[in-house]
Structure 1
Amino acid sequence: MKKKLLPLALAAAVLAGTMAGCGSSSAASSAAHNTAAPAASSSSSAASSTPSAENVTLNFAIWDSNQEKGLRKIADNFEAANPGIKIKINVTGWSDYWTMLEAGATGGSLPDVFWMHSNEIYRYGSNGMLLDLTDRISKSDKFKLSDYPDQLSKIYNISGKQYAVPKDYDTIGLWYNKTLFDKAGLKYPDETWTWDTLYNAAKKLTKNGVYGILTPLHNQEGFYNFIYQNNGKVISDDKKKSGYDDPATIQAMEYYTKFIREKLSPQIFGDKERAEAMENGLCAMGFFGSWNLSGFAENQYMAKNFDVTVLPQGKTRATIFNGLGNAISANTKHPEEAWRFVEYLSTKEAQEEQAKLGVAISAYNGAADLWVSSNKTFHVKSFIDMVKYAVIRPYSNKTTAWEDRAYETLKPCFTGKQTVKQACQNTAKQMNEALAAE
């Protein structure tokens, strides 16, 4: 999420990976970057026994520019073993990404291969826009769906049909400015921290124009985590009812917004501003997803001053767990070549390479440790340690119908124009209407 020293570099990086999950607003984009293709190993599982009969270029669409460099290397490995197939990686920022896909779906020109998210899988999968991969997966001798966490695979399964293969997963961590902690004479946060510890530290760190913490209007990298730490819910288990009017949810939102009300956190609503607040030393603590790793590590200010640990504990421990999937357009002119590429991306070889390159926490079972060892700058094992109590990111058949509007209905309690209870009740009302319409 950050490529240079300038504040905007960090901002662009956060924007690029915000949903990685994954993680919920706009994202920065960058042009595809080509590197020299390495020689293919004779034992590489990228090798194909049936080379493409003609030269084919597959358009591969993603939304995170931080992952492009690593994915380019993986694509090069695939190309070297499949000389008839070229991979063109197209990076489009998060918001524009879905606009691009919608236009492509309407015009019948979706990318051949592209990332899919839990918010949008039902819309695309249930409307004939994605290639059904069920039979291809069952016949593959290069990987099995059981190689991936069942929670993630189920996200991309509709009525027994699999429309994407998990690519990675992510959790949310507490990032903290070690320099500011040292100046305040405070011990660094760790697994012993509770909500009270977090609050007390934020109060002590708020001084001399510095805020102790950043609690922005952000779901996946913010209040969702606290709702589940308080045994609340965003959506019911059967996905038919909102959980925003649950007393436990309201209590969690009261706690989360208290930092703003008491001026321990600035009022921030955009990802660009959220990133700058951390890089500029405005806030001593903040919540960001694991997908930010490569960008944070490349930013000199972040690398020098920051580290990350597990989220503090409320009534229970929880962090939001999500993952992306690789999908294929139902209308691609090259279904076999596209499948060959997705199949390779799903192999142990490619997934481990993704982890080693620090691209993202590979979803392939057992590959997470390689991602941890890929980075020595931060204590990134914290992200893996939280998986055992992680909660899958709230979703329904049409998540965006209620999730995007929730930002509008919740904003008044972040600005002090409405009580938290009122804002949560209004959010529950609109969400229940949207769920009833599904």
Structure 2
Amino acid sequence: MALWRFRTRVPLALGAAALLLSGCANPSTGSNTDDPTKPVTLKFWHGWSAPGEVEAIDENIARFEKLHPNIDVVSTGNVSDETINQALRAGGGDAPDVVTSFTTNNVGQYCSSGMWVDLDPFMRKSGIDKTKVFPKTLLDYTRYEGVQCATPLLADAFGMYYNKDAFEAAGITRPPRTMSEMKADAVKLTQRNKDGSLKRAGFMPNFQLYQNSPDRMFAQWGPEYFDAEGKAKLADEPKTEDFFTTMRDLSDAQGGYAAMERLRARFGDEMSSQNGFLTGRLAMHLDGEWRGLMLDEAKADFDWAVAPLPVPDDQADTYGRGYLTGTVAGIAHSSRHQNAAWELVKYLTIDTEPVVRFANAIHNVPSTFEALKSPDLDADPAFRAFIEIARNPHSQAVPPSNNGGQYINSFGDFSQSVEAGRTKDLHRALEDLDEQIDADNVQSEN
């Protein structure tokens, strides 16, 4: 059975997991003086839950234990960030030694709170130059204010799935590379019912559609969210207004926001057989690398392919970029076996063979340079398209913050208001958004 893990939008409040870390210190102090060659049991908590995913991570752990017969790893899956953070706050013998998270937005809190240890000393001791191991974008979302408290453990890349049959029928010979090309192609691909309502959208930019969170599409502009002092600068970033204008023009060219929303209301759940792209109601669609497996499993009745999402016309040389996120791994501050824990983290996230094996097993993008170019990596063309997006130096992740990415939630709410036409003075509204983001950041520091 095919496996996939997909990224959902971060909930508005991010839950107690984020709040638990703010301004707290771990009451239980761990140790980085342990001898990793002595017999030890490590507790490893992770979030994978599907049988095939758990089997894949357990197989990697078994191979690790064979290489390190003195280390016994007790693995616990389907563990949420909230559960992990509560355990780390409490400390004691029941807390995990090695942890993973699917939520890169929380890395700023993991690092600033001290709950996850700084891994730089362990890398230096192992002679590892992290800049030669991990792509810069992945390093950026695993560190905060100089603290490298996590390492990437596979990644997710976002690109554009497109219906090749629809393209051929519309006389389009290749996927669009710029936003103006996308707009022209979307118009050609749009179909209407007899009553004038939309039957198929060429591309639906609506921010509430499936994986269409605005930060993922905004990544194609390569924006800067904060200035050098850490102050929000969305109002002063010229790319912001261009992004909203482009999305509105793209929507209007196909019938407008209201017509798009009426079409979206007829879609089924993202993971169901009534997915808008699978049923042919979308000709182009933003999604992650897992969607290809789902289309194959569902036996889609049309030919499809993957390309990078187009970029702004004035940044045509960055075509090939995309939005990146991923799973992160770290060592608990409370662990008394931090050197042994590092051996496990290093094996799972840096050693090429286990990274490639795990990537192939759960169909996620590898997170090291060596794994990305490994000949053993899955050769499926659609999957390879996401590999190239991950390797593109212009690809972008959102910067970490000390409050679990609250600014991304604020930007998402703001973006939905803009596309619905509720924002009249965009620049003034962006200034207000910057003030809100800065206030939230200050509050989380106190």
Asked if 1 retains the 8 angstrom alpha-carbon contact of 2:142 and 2:148, the reply is yes
Measured after TM superposition, the shift of residue 309 of structure 1 is 0.5
Say if 2:83 is the partner of 1:100. Answer: yes
Asked if 2 retains the 8 angstrom alpha-carbon contact of 1:358 and 1:375, the reply is no
Say if 2:237 is the partner of 1:239. Answer: no
Aligned to 1:134: 120
Aligned to 2:62: 76
Which deviations, in whole Å up to 9, do the C-alpha atoms of 1:37-81 show, x marking residues without a partner?
Answer: xxxxxxxxxxxx966625x36233135858545433322322333
Counterpart of 1:320 (choices 305, 323, 335) is: 323
CA distance in 2, matches of 1:89, 1:179: 45
Measured after TM superposition, the shift of residue 86 of structure 1 is 3.1
Letter in 2 for 1:288: D
* Relative contact order higher in (CA < 8 Å, ≥ 6 apart): 2
Asked if 2 retains the 8 angstrom alpha-carbon contact of 1:202 and 1:213, the reply is yes
Which deviations, in whole Å up to 9, do the C-alpha atoms of 1:64-109 show, x marking residues without a partner?
Answer: 85854543332232233345513425135xxxx3333343344436
Q: Over alpha carbons, which structure has the higher Rg?
A: 2
Q: For residues 226 and 409 of structure 1, do their structure 2 counterparts lie closer, same or farther at Cα, with a shift above 3 Å needed?
A: closer
Aligned to 1:42: none
Asked if 2 retains the 8 angstrom alpha-carbon contact of 1:64 and 1:91, the reply is yes
Aligned to 1:380: 384
Matches within 5 A, 1:69-218: 69-83=55-69, 84-92=71-79, 97-108=80-91, 111-116=96-101, 117-140=103-126, 143-145=128-130, 146-158=132-144, 160-189=146-175, 193-207=177-191, 208=193, 209-217=199-207
Deviates more, 1:394-403 or 1:369-378: 369-378
Asked if 2 retains the 8 angstrom alpha-carbon contact of 1:121 and 1:156, the reply is yes
Q: Secondary structure of 1:91's partner?
A: coil
CA distance in 2, matches of 1:198, 1:379: 22
Q: For residues 289 and 426 of structure 1, do their structure 2 counterparts lie closer, same or farther at Cα, with a shift above 3 Å needed?
A: farther
Q: For residues 410 and 420 of structure 1, do their structure 2 counterparts lie closer, same or farther at Cα, with a shift above 3 Å needed?
A: farther
Q: For residues 89 and 432 of structure 1, do their structure 2 counterparts lie closer, same or farther at Cα, with a shift above 3 Å needed?
A: same
CA distance in 2, matches of 1:383, 1:289: 11
How many residue pairs get matched? 392
Letter in 2 for 1:432: D
Asked if 2 retains the 8 angstrom alpha-carbon contact of 1:233 and 1:244, the reply is no
Deviates more, 1:309-318 or 1:412-421: 412-421
Q: Which runs of 5+ in 2 are unaligned?
A: 13-34, 194-198
CA distance in 2, matches of 1:359, 1:71: 13
Q: Secondary structure of 1:412's partner?
A: helix
Q: For residues 164 and 195 of structure 1, do their structure 2 counterparts lie closer, same or farther at Cα, with a shift above 3 Å needed?
A: same
CA distance in 1, matches of 2:303, 2:58: 30
Measured after TM superposition, the shift of residue 387 of structure 1 is 1.0
CA distance in 1, matches of 2:169, 2:159: 22
Measured after TM superposition, the shift of residue 298 of structure 1 is 5.2
Asked if 2 retains the 8 angstrom alpha-carbon contact of 1:210 and 1:283, the reply is yes
Letter in 1 for 2:121: D
CA distance in 1, matches of 2:347, 2:222: 40
Say if 2:365 is the partner of 1:361. Answer: yes
Counterpart of 2:334 (choices 328, 331, 335) is: 331
CA distance in 1, matches of 2:43, 2:292: 26
Q: Secondary structure of 1:278's partner?
A: coil
Asked if 2 retains the 8 angstrom alpha-carbon contact of 1:279 and 1:301, the reply is no
Q: Secondary structure of 2:405's partner?
A: helix
Q: For residues 136 and 379 of structure 1, do their structure 2 counterparts lie closer, same or farther at Cα, with a shift above 3 Å needed?
A: closer
Measured after TM superposition, the shift of residue 436 of structure 1 is 4.4
Aligned to 1:44: none
Say if 2:417 is the partner of 1:412. Answer: yes
Say if 2:390 is the partner of 1:398. Answer: no
Q: For residues 119 and 139 of structure 1, do their structure 2 counterparts lie closer, same or farther at Cα, with a shift above 3 Å needed?
A: same
Q: For residues 180 and 423 of structure 1, do their structure 2 counterparts lie closer, same or farther at Cα, with a shift above 3 Å needed?
A: farther
CA distance in 2, matches of 1:297, 1:238: 45
Counterpart of 1:62 (choices 37, 47, 61) is: 47
Which deviations, in whole Å up to 9, do the C-alpha atoms of 1:146-168 show, x marking residues without a partner?
Answer: 42234533543456543222323
Q: Secondary structure of 1:279's partner?
A: coil
CA distance in 2, matches of 1:213, 1:335: 48
TM-score (norm 2): 0.73
**Percent of matched pairs sharing the same residue:** 18
TM-score (norm 1): 0.74
Measured after TM superposition, the shift of residue 18 of structure 1 is 1.0
CA distance in 1, matches of 2:300, 2:373: 23
Aligned to 1:45: none
Measured after TM superposition, the shift of residue 231 of structure 1 is 6.3
CA distance in 2, matches of 1:306, 1:111: 43
Asked if 2 retains the 8 angstrom alpha-carbon contact of 1:309 and 1:380, the reply is no
Q: For residues 260 and 411 of structure 1, do their structure 2 counterparts lie closer, same or farther at Cα, with a shift above 3 Å needed?
A: same
Q: For residues 388 and 408 of structure 1, do their structure 2 counterparts lie closer, same or farther at Cα, with a shift above 3 Å needed?
A: closer
CA distance in 1, matches of 2:183, 2:153: 36
Q: CA RMSD in A?
A: 3.8
CA distance in 1, matches of 2:432, 2:325: 26
Asked if 2 retains the 8 angstrom alpha-carbon contact of 1:62 and 1:115, the reply is yes
Q: Which runs of 5+ in 1 are unaligned?
A: 5-12, 27-48
CA distance in 2, matches of 1:75, 1:114: 14
Measured after TM superposition, the shift of residue 211 of structure 1 is 1.9
Q: For residues 165 and 229 of structure 1, do their structure 2 counterparts lie closer, same or farther at Cα, with a shift above 3 Å needed?
A: closer
CA distance in 1, matches of 2:45, 2:268: 26
CA distance in 1, matches of 2:139, 2:221: 27
Q: Secondary structure of 1:405's partner?
A: helix
Aligned to 2:298: 300
Letter in 2 for 1:125: C
